[in-house]
Structure 1
Amino acid sequence: MSNPPREKRLLDIAVAENLEQLRSMRESEQSRLSAKISFSPVHAVVDALNHLHDALIARTIKLAEIEMARLGHGAPPVPYAYLLFGSGGRSEQTMCSDQDSGLVYANPADEEQATRYRHYYLRLAEIIVQSLVALGYPPCEGNVIASNAEWCLPISEWESKIDRWFTEPNWENVRYLLIAADVRPIAGHVALADQLKDRFFNDMLGNPIIAQRMLENTLRHKVLLGFFGQLLREPYGDDAGSLDIKYGAYIPMVNAFRLLALRSGIRETSTLGRIAALRHSGLLTIGEAETASQAFSFFLRLRLIATIAGEDGQMIGTGKISRARLTKELMLPLKKALKAGKFYQRKVEREMKGRFGGR
């Protein structure tokens, strides 16, 4: 459905001339969307917010290319794609998501080109990352970011890296594979990202050892609902009595449906998209898919609520719902959604062990 006001705002972003304009547009739009969280359908807010982030990042990349030319480095020497991982790859960013990114470019023909391309794209990535920091996107704490040489590679080296992650299934490599499963190109040559996904899925579906390791990682974060249906709140410190909605509700469902999708060769990256694809494939019943979508949508809304304003006015994600916000009106739908999350954690465990074995 056409949305002329939003289309106009996104067009304004696409022609912004500098980072100051982009930051002002981000703050203005997020303020507008924040005011709609309590009464608008969560899908509409999340969709608008992620279109905003995509537009801001895409324009930042284009401005970085212009800056590279101004600095005397010229235009990109070969096709490349800028990649998003994490919530960006899943189109589930909040008001305060950080940067999880990578960059892939076409293969060089010789050592001279290899050196030149590596220097160019690392410098481009550095400018993009720092520009996004200026817009209010902090870098990934785990250093999964395009300005890290390990995440800025030609396609052949990316393919070798993916193969190595599958060949050596230690905890860190399995974590990287799960990160890579959420990859989404935000700008550039989409075919390069598709080639990465081809390599990933060709390896994934025939590797039962990796599947077992992925299951162990997936089940690491438990839904915060006790055996008797009680909320498992934060017990100590300044957050005592609060609920960790990010790691105790949202992440467990992200992990469960990611793994169910990977098990079935589904390439969709958003969680709601994965749920829909699993239903379409007959791997979830209509009722299961509806229950899962409702629970996950509820967690998306809570994720948007779980933010505070920092001293500079920038939104900061706490990931936690405070004791004061855990009202009686919230408790019933919250426990219902958490119960659904727990059900799907058990489901993915049964499904994966049924197909690939394991304890």
Structure 2
Amino acid sequence: MTEELLPNIVSFLHAIPPFDRLPSKVLQKIAAQVDILWLDKGMPLNTQAEPPGCLYILRTGAVEQRHLDGTLRARLGAEDIFGFSLLHALKEQRVEYHTLALENTLLYRLAYAPLQDSISDYPQVLTQLALSAWRRLHSALNVQWSEQDKGIFFRLAGDVANRSIAIAAPHMSVQQVATLMSLEIRTSCAFIVNDKGTLIGMMTDKDMTKRVIAPGKDSQVPVTEVMTDNLHTVFEDELVMRAVSLMMSHNIRNIPVIDREFRPIGLLTPQQLIQKNSVQAIFLIEQISRAASIDALVNLTPVRQAIFETLLDGNVAPHIVGLVLTMIYDAVTRRLTELAIDYLGEAPCAWSWMAAGSHARHEVHLASDQDNALLLADSATATDRQWFSHFAMYVCKGLAACGYPLCEGRFMAATPAWCQRLTVWKDYYRKWASNPEYDGLLKLNVFIEIRHVAGDEALFATLDAWRQQVINHNPRLLKALLRNALKIRPPLGIFHNLVLEKDGNKEKILNIKRAAIHGVVDIVRLHALSAGIPQQNTEERIQALLQQCALNDASAQDMLGTWRYVTQLRYLHQSHALQRGEEADNSINPERFGSLERQHLKDAFRMLSGFQDAAKMAFGG
């Protein structure tokens, strides 16, 4: 390396991530380690003749990588970095892929070990250049947040709970418990525990009014006669967000916090959380539950967007963002069903409003449309179904007004086919699972994940048990779902401007949903169905597969890294679109990508391609 070339190399490194985070003195040290290689168009990079343990940076030109069987691995352009897999392969003395110059190409070669030494004091850069692709993707998520940033809802329930609680014994009278609550502890709630200290019930001041004072009940009866014994609780090591979810799902206001021995250690209430964190917009749910009309719900839509932007600004983990947006979606849906009943009168039979697709998986984003359905009791008559048709139309139109667009494929409760009795729904799943072809497979792909949102949960549980029975451990269904999952392969050939497809304005865009997100969802679902795992959320499925040893640690980490990165990329794109006054969607303008984003995308697409190939071997026969 001649001294004359050093300033030029330093200038180049200074302009590309992650080297742009390094001070000049470190860049000068790295530049001095660079070897310059030239490849004529059509010339291969003979990695076996190259010095061992090197990374390569493309200064100019383009290269193509192909697996040993000739299939495309990737195409790379200026500023791209490669060689990580070659370093892995070197340890096992094997060749991963061949590299060929598509144009006259100038490469910078860096020995990996000296490079690591040079950047050892800069952990953010070190992780961006880690050998493991999932570590590189994880570092790009930037999901580390401070206590102040992450807010109360992402802290442990035990750290936030009010520990000034009243503990009562089962033999105590209602009057004794009331005295304990009002005079001794001064709390609105008492926990009833057995002789082992295990929580068996709860009594609130509202329970006192409704169950004792209003009906004129004797205040000397044991508290166990009037207490609430069907409790929703959270463990002290769970997130406060879990308690918030229970409050919204079941319209309750007091959540006991217990230890792993089921002993009460504190209490969480909405009022307490609001007082401690008044700016947290998650309690939009409170406003939703009190909205008196569809117009009032529509007026809350900007607040939902503000919540989303706040979460993104705080670098909250992608799965938490999806959970929060899902909880808001659920709350709007639930309130619309209540308003519909106020308008139409009481429902003529038992029913369950079901979410499907990403809504069912707790993976809602700002561009999520409606995938929903209605489940009716088998007693429903033709007249009853007419009532539910009006009911479904009211709710679906209300959701559309609130920013949840109607499904283009009409997979909604307002469509007669998806407003059916239990027997019909069971027959749907039986046919789809036993003959998963063509139109049936499309419908199953929408409704393969379902979740109860409002109505009769016991009715839903009956259908859900049947659904799981027919879709789990079903080899024929797995093969059909695999064929469907392999119809769209990740765009391994991207480089330079990532030109993939054209939108309605004939502009070149990357559809992140089609290119990556659907692919990960489909592959993880295959593994979950094969293992009989009940979880529906993609991240929870991966964690459960790892716990059951249905995936090894390396595969699980790769899947998590890929899933989190592409999900975060979509959320960031939608957040930036809102800031620009544009529509939040899945279509990303590739002109806004830097070289590091391209590098991470290529890592993600390569790993997704690997997941698909592995699934083909596992489930394709």
- Structure 2 length normalisation: TM-score? 0.52
Which ranges of structure 1 fall in alignment gaps of 5 or more residues?
70-74
In structure 1, what is the Cα distance between the partners aligned to 2:563 and 2:472? Answer: 26
SS at match of 2:441: helix
Kindly state the Cα deviation for residue 146 of structure 1 after the two structures are TM-superposed: 0.2
How many residue pairs match? The answer is 342
Q: Is the Cα contact below 8 Å between 2:497 and 2:591 reproduced in 1?
A: no
Residue pair 1:221, 1:252 contacting (<8 A) in 2 also: yes
Cα shift at 1:120: 1.6
| 1:324 aligned residue | 591
* Deviation, structure 1 residue 132: 0.9
Give the C-alpha shift of residue 251 in structure 1.
0.7
Aligned to 2:381: 114
**Correspondence for 1:199 among 463, 466, 470:** 466
Shift of 1:241: 4.3
2:528 corresponds in structure 1 to: 261
**Is residue 98–residue 138 contact of structure 1 (8 Å, CA) maintained in 2?**
yes
Partner of 1:91: 362
Following the alignment from structure 2 to structure 1, what is the Cα–Cα distance between the partners of residues 403 and 502?
Answer: 30
Alignment root-mean-square deviation, CA: 2.5
Which moves more between the two structures, 205-214 or 56-65?
205-214
Letter in 2 for 1:81: S
Q: 2:353 is paired with a residue of what secondary structure?
A: strand
Letter in 2 for 1:141: E
Q: Which amino acid aligns with 1:258?
A: R
| 2:619 maps to which of 344, 352, 357 | 352
TM-superposed CA distance for 1:118, in Å, is: 0.9
The 5-angstrom pairing of residues 278-317 of structure 1 reads 278-307=545-574, 308=577, 316-317=583-584
| 1:28 equivalenced with 2:303 (yes/no) | yes
> For residues 616 and 557 of structure 2, what CA distance do their matches in structure 1 show?
20
Per-residue deviation, 1:177: 1.7
CA distance in 2, matches of 1:167, 1:36: 42
Contact 2:502–2:509 at 8 Å: present in 1 too?
Answer: no
Evaluate the alpha carbon distance shift between residue 47 and residue 161 of structure 1 in structure 2; reply closer, same or farther with a 3 A threshold: closer
Work out whether 1:52 is the aligned partner of 2:328: yes
The DSSP-based 3-state class of the residue aligned with 1:346 is helix
User: What secondary structure, in the 3-state scheme, does the structure 1 residue paired with 2:375 have?
Assistant: strand
Compute the displacement of 1:230 (Å): 8.3
- For 1:7 and 1:205, the matched residues in 2 are separated by 35
Counterpart code for 2:470: D
Distance 1:6 1:176 in 2: 36
> 1:72 aligns to what?
none
For residue 533 of structure 2, give the secondary structure of its aligned residue in structure 1.
Answer: coil
The farther-off stretch of 260-269 and 298-307 is 298-307
- What's the secondary structure of 2:454's corresponding residue? strand
2:404 is aligned with 1:137: yes
Following TM superposition, by how much is the alpha carbon of 1:154 offset from its aligned partner in structure 2, in angstroms?
0.8
Summarize the alignment of residues 6-45 of structure 1 with structure 2, pairs less than 5 Å apart: 6=281, 8-41=283-316, 42-45=318-321
Q: Deviations over 1:220-277 (max 9, x none)?
A: 1211223x98886325564554322110011100111112111221221111111111
Aligned equivalents of 1:94, 1:7: Cα separation in 2: 15
Bigger proportion of residues as strand: 2
Q: CA offsets per residue over residues 311-339 of structure 1, 9 Å max, x none? A: 9x7x7343122122211231222222222
Seen in structure 2, the aligned counterparts of structure 1 residues 16 and 235 have a Cα distance that, compared at 3 Å, is closer
Q: CA deviation at 1:77?
A: 2.0
2:499 to 233, 246, 261: 233
Quick one: distance in 2 between partners of 1:290 and 1:206?
A: 24
Query: Is 2:102 aligned against 1:102?
Result: no
Q: Aligned partner of 2:521: which letter?
A: V
Distance 1:26 1:269 in 2: 27
Contact 2:352 2:455 in 1 (8 A): yes
* Structure 1 position 148, deviation (Å): 0.7
The whole-number CA distance in structure 2 between the counterparts of 1:18 and 1:172 is 38
Whole-Å separation in 2 of the counterparts to 1:61 and 1:101:
13
8 A Cα contact 2:282 2:324, kept in partner: no
Distance change (3 Å), C-alpha of 1:252 and 1:65: same
Larger Rg: 2
SS in 2 for 1:316: coil
Give the corresponding residue for 2:244: none
Q: Distance in 2 between matches of 1:335 and 1:261?
A: 26
2:424 maps to 1:153:
no
C-alpha spacing 1:39/1:233, structure 2 compared with 1 (3 Å): farther
Question: Is it true that 1:66 corresponds to 2:342 in the alignment?
Answer: yes
- 1:95 and 1:87 map into 2 onto residues whose CA distance is 12
Q: What's the secondary structure of 1:187's corresponding residue?
A: strand
Normalising by the residue count of structure 1, what TM-score does the alignment of the two structures yield?
0.87
Q: Quick one: distance in 2 between partners of 1:77 and 1:235?
A: 49
Deviations along 1:139-164, one digit per CA (max 9) or x if unpaired, are 11111100111000110111112222
Amino acid at match of 1:2: V
Q: 1:240 to 1:234 in 2, by over 3 A?
A: farther
Letter aligned with residue 20 of structure 1: D
Deviations 1:68-103 (A, max 9, x none): 12xxxxx11222110111111111111121101100
Question: What secondary structure is seen at the aligned counterpart in 2 of 1:102?
Answer: strand
Instruction: Give SS of 2:240's match.
Output: coil
| Aligned 8 A contact 1:165 1:177 in 2 | yes
Structure-1 separation of matches of 2:515 and 2:547? 28
2:419 maps to 1:181: no
Contact 1:224–1:233 (Cα < 8 Å) also in 2: no
Aligned-pair CA distance for 1:166: 3.0
Query: What corresponds to 2:240 in structure 1?
Result: 2
What is the distance in 2 between the residues matched to 1:231 and 1:212?
35
Structure 2 CA distance for partners of 1:236 and 1:47, relative to 1, 3 Å: closer
Inter-partner Cα distance in structure 1 for 2:461 and 2:320:
28
Q: Is the 8 A contact 1:81 1:190 kept in 2?
A: yes
**Alignment equivalent of 1:334, drawn from 596, 601, 607:** 601
Give unmatched runs, 5+ long, in structure 2: 1-238, 242-272, 274-279
Q: Is contact 2:371–2:446 with CA below 8 Å preserved after alignment?
A: no
Q: What displacement does 1:128 show? A: 0.5
